[in-house]
Amino acid sequence: MKLTTVFSVLAVLCAVTLSAADLSKFVDAKRWEIAECTAKTVGNTLVVNMPVDHKGGQKGYFVGWPRLYLRKFLPAETNWSKAKAISFDLKLEFTGKSTSYPLSFHFFWRDKTGKKNLSKAVRCPALKNNSVNKVTIPFPKEFVPATVFGLGFNISESQYKHGENFKFTVSNFKLVNK
């Protein structure tokens, strides 16, 4: 095989490797900032428990705001420029009687100048309880994928009854090009 052919093959392999971020380590609970909830890693899943406590919580959120954010990306996780959405598998185990399960997903990025931090919460599509849900969240129109620096989940406890529990597991974080 000619040396130029070897270099061409290597260039293609490098381009494939660098064209999409490796999001497999997003399931590492130690990397997430959590408030009013717990998170742990079990195998290749992130297990999140968000108890609804209308009597606790932080001073500014009178009925609570359980949340977790991942705001420190590894270099291999930052190339989102060719994607149009993020997807993941989410298994919900909700203890209440509700048939609607509002869960917000957050994007954090910098504007095109790189000076201003921006964020947007997007509601996850309809979720089925006690099932694995394939979730795809399209990037917001104003999102600049090349400057992503965080993501997260939260519920608003005002949409749930005191004492209910919103538990979910997340796995298979991937970027989607559609």
What local confidence, expressed as pLDDT, does residue 11 receive?
38
Q: What is the mean pLDDT of the chain?
A: 86
For residue 72, give its domain range. 21-176
Position 47 in a domain: yes
Number of structural domains, the chain? 1
Position 50 in a domain: yes
DSSP string, 36-72: SSEEEEETTEEEEEEE--TTSS-TT-TT---EEEE--
The 10s digit of each residue's pLDDT in 39-81 is 999 999 999 999 988 888 777 776 778 999 999 999 899 889 9
Q: What is the mean pLDDT of residues 76-100?
A: 92
136 and 85 Cβ atoms separated by less than 8 Å: yes
Position 57 in a domain: yes
Residue (of 143, 157, 147) closest to 102 by Cα position: 157
Whole-prediction pTM value? 0.84
- pLDDT of 18 over the 90 cut: no
Position 165 in a domain: yes
What local confidence, expressed as pLDDT, does residue 1 receive?
52
Report the CATH number at residue 120: 2.60.120
What local confidence, expressed as pLDDT, does residue 3 receive?
42
Residue (of 103, 107, 99) closest to 135 by Cα position: 103
- pLDDT of 9 over the 50 cut: no
Position 15 in a domain: no
Give the separation between CA 47 and CA 89, rounded to whole angstroms: 12
What local confidence, expressed as pLDDT, does residue 32 receive?
98
Percent of residues, the chain, with pLDDT higher than 90: 63
Position 42 in a domain: yes
Position 12 in a domain: no
What local confidence, expressed as pLDDT, does residue 25 receive?
96
The 10s digit of each residue's pLDDT in 97-140 is 888 888 999 999 999 898 999 999 999 999 999 999 999 999 99
Strands 67-70 and 117-123, sheet pairing: unpaired
What local confidence, expressed as pLDDT, does residue 2 receive?
53
DSSP 5: H
Position 8 in a domain: no
